[in-house]
Amino acid sequence: MTTSRIRKDAARNWQHIVDTARRFVDEGEDLRLNDVARAASIGVATVYRHFPTSEALLETLARPRLEGLVAFADRAATGDDAWEGFAGFLLAGVEAQVTDASLPPVLATDKHALPETTELVTRLFSATGQLLDHARAAGAVRSGVTHEDIVRLMCGVAFAAGVHALPDERAALTRRYLNITLTGIRVH
């Protein structure tokens, strides 16, 4: 066998593992590597070769959304309206948590399996603080609101929308709860 054939097979297996794991997470099933291997009809050793832990696999699933949120924050930081950038970023963040089941556990942990996940989460939390500071400096956010307040409020909004709504109602409920929260922290 040629090296390119092995690499194509490995890439195909990697993608099949990720797709199978995505189904597990989206359906609310526990992400166990042996179960993923069985469901994907791929050898357990192959799954472990690509993903040494279930946390590494979960972080791989969350990575595109994390990258998207970091990019959103970068764009929001360069916008003209500090409040709109801040509020838009928070909306994107809570909607991502409600629509992508891989994201909340990755954001909730202090220790990540993959260094790139640690970097992305660090950038995301830093961007939240920078956008808050920018909105506060523009006079749009109450002076006593802290970065920690925002992180906890966004977790609360995402949790409440995730628990108290059917899947097809979550986006609307997320926006409603976030708007109520933003009204409370905004300087009018």
Block mean pLDDT (10 aa), the chain, length 188: 64 94 95 96 94 97 98 94 96 92 93 97 95 96 94 90 82 91 93
User: Maximum CA pair distance of the chain?
Assistant: 68
Measured CA to CA, the distance from residue 16 to residue 47 in angstroms comes to: 10
Residue 121's nearest CA partner among 131, 132, 130, 110 is 110
The reported pLDDT for the residue numbered 4 is 55
pLDDT for residue 163 = 83
**33 and 84 both lie in a single domain:** no
Residues 105 and 117: beta-carbon distance below 8 Å: no
Please indicate, yes or no, whether the overall pTM of this predicted structure exceeds 0.85: yes
Matching residue, tokens 């640690």: 118
Q: Domain of residue 32: give its range.
A: 1-52
User: What's the confidence (pLDDT) of residue 8?
Assistant: 84
Q: Give yes or no: residues 109 and 146 share one domain.
A: yes
pLDDT of residue 2: 47
Same domain, 65 and 45: no
Give the count of domains, the chain. Answer: 2
* Side chain identity at residue 184, one-letter code: G
What pLDDT does residue 170 have?
Answer: 84
